[in-house]
Chains A and B, each alone.
Chain A
Amino acid sequence: MSSMPPLDVVESSDPMATPRRVALVRPDMRPAVRMTDEPYVMTFPNLIIREIILFQIVVVGLAVAAMLFDAPLEGIANPLETPNPAKAPWYFLGLQELLHYFPPVVAGVLMPVLVVIALVVIPYARINLSAQELWKGAGAGRLAAVIGVASAIVLLFAAFGCWPIVVPTACVALAMLAARGGGDGGAIRTTLARVTLPEWIMLWFTIVAAILTIIGTFFRGPGWTFVWPWAAAAAG
């Protein structure tokens, strides 16, 4: 505010003769710019050059990959000859792995729809906007809620024999409990203590999705039975 020009106060009885500017600043809605002293740089060349270099790195990297590894091509499509197992592209193998445990309407429709809805509402959920460390100022209620929800998820998926979800869920729940009161523990507990509830949920979702995809991609053989990747490679 020190750079403001001095204000001239003019007194007059004629309001039309002396135009005035009135600014009403509510203390809770100050239009003050955040971090005014933050350094800025010109977009050209600083950002543009970096973008061009990034593009070149991606092109060169992909060109090298394209020279080293050939895209797969099998025999011509034959509707009469079903390969075993018939696998979808890798990014859908997590869903295909779920098909092994749940009826198709649950694994193929309900779960992906729920995931998309959950992703869309992320920025509109109050819990995400006021993100706080999970255990900060938490009472016994939150402890009970975390244990209750985690147990419910573990039991639900255990009932369907879906261990690729049960095991990571239990691990994440244990990590959440280990973070409790970890503010002055070791380095790992201190880090865990800073994680917010929405971050825990996303972490859990990412780990589960990754494990399902990896199992579906590398550990599934004929009839969707469990195989070791090296066994599958030897057979294939």
Chain B
Amino acid sequence: MRALSTGPISRWLIDSSLYRSVVRHGVADTNRNRSLVVFENLFLHVHPVKVRQKTLRFTHTYWLGGVAFACALILIATGILLMFYYHPSVPQAYRDMKELSFVVDNGTFLRNMHRWAAHLMVLASFLHMLRVFFHRAYRPPRQFNWVIGVVLLIVTLLLSYTGYLLPWDQLAFWGVSVGTNMAKEAPLLGEKVRFLLLGGNIVSENALLRFYVLHCVVLPVALLLFLSVHIWRVRKDGGVQGPPDDTPGQEEVR
């Protein structure tokens, strides 16, 4: 592939000592510099420098993990913007929804984007899990990454569920009431877990505050931590694994 930017101005910029103090390598027109792009970057170095060509095929992964990850980034961006307009208190939380609709510029768009990205993330995570299962990509050496994936699916569901309460409308209130009533039925700990989660015996403004803290701090941090390990392990375990018949050696693994 042709180097991405080789005009005289970008050349001058890339060769300047200021730019080089930030990015140590030159234009990515040699395989050496292309390697440096990946492994001198904190974020890109979750990837190996080279990948198997087959893994780029659409049918290899259907890019489902990528869709879920893209949703996570969109949710963080839109979520931070939404936090500027939101008070986790009753009844201000509901009034803030109305503010978003009628006062804030593009407020409706922001909330819609956050909502649909959340649904897509849950769906893409489910489909990603099915894809990995039917491609038998959970087998050694990838067993532990499958377990991290299950944890990530649960964290994703909890994120979506805690966010469900925040608008404080009828849908939110009763959806969360139905769910937390189920938790109550767990033997021994059920009642106590529900009390801890809601900060009381019913869904009230204490519950709203707790769900807000879980949704905006605790669970996103957990998601980012597990997500980092999950993606890093993909490289450590030998890259993404596609349909089972594409690497004959894998069939022998016991």
Contacts and interface: CB of A to CB of B under 8 A. Distances in A.
Contacts of A70: 108, 112
A128 interface: yes
B113 A105 contact: no
B31 A122 contact: no
A96 B173 CA distance: 16
B59 interface: no
A59 B106 CA distance: 16
Given A43-B50, A46-B51, A202 B130 contact: yes
A34 B247 contact: yes
User: What range describes how many residues of A lie at the interface?
Assistant: 35 or more
Nearest to A86: B174
B51 A109 contact: no
A44 B34 contact: yes
18 contacts: A35-B248, A39-B54, A41-B53, A42-B50, A44-B34, A50-B63, A58-B71, A76-B94, A76-B168, A86-B177, A86-B178, A87-B178, A96-B178, A108-B185, A123-B138, A123-B142, A130-B254, A206-B130
Contacts, number: 208
Nearest to A196: B136
A122 B109 contact: no
B185 A104 contact: yes
Contacts of B108: 70
Contacts of A88: 175, 178-179
A83 B176 CA distance: 13
A74 to B, nearest CB: 4
A96 B178 CA distance: 8
Interface in B37-95: 37-38, 44, 47-54, 56, 63, 66-67, 70-71, 73-74, 90-91, 94
Which applies to chain B's interface (DSSP): helix, strand, loop or mixed? Answer: helix
Given A35-B249, A91-B157, A67 B169 contact: no
Nearest to A49: B1
B254 A105 contact: no
Contact of B143 (A46, A86, A124): A124
Contacts of A120: 147, 150
A81 interface: yes
A131 interface: yes
Interface stretch (B6-14, B16-24, B114-122, B217-225): B114-122
B63 A69 contact: no
A230 interface: no
B173 A79 contact: yes
Contacts of A69: 112, 116
Given A38-B54, A41-B50, A77 B34 contact: no
Nearest to B49: A43
Contact of A48 (B44, B54, B73, B120): B44
Interface in A55-72: 55, 58-59, 62-63, 65-67, 69-72
Contact of A51 (B66, B109, B169, B173): B66
Contacts of B94: 76-77
B227 interface: no
B160 A41 contact: no
Given A41-B53, A78-B173, A122-B133, A73 B97 contact: yes
B28 to A, nearest CB: 6
Nearest to B125: A91
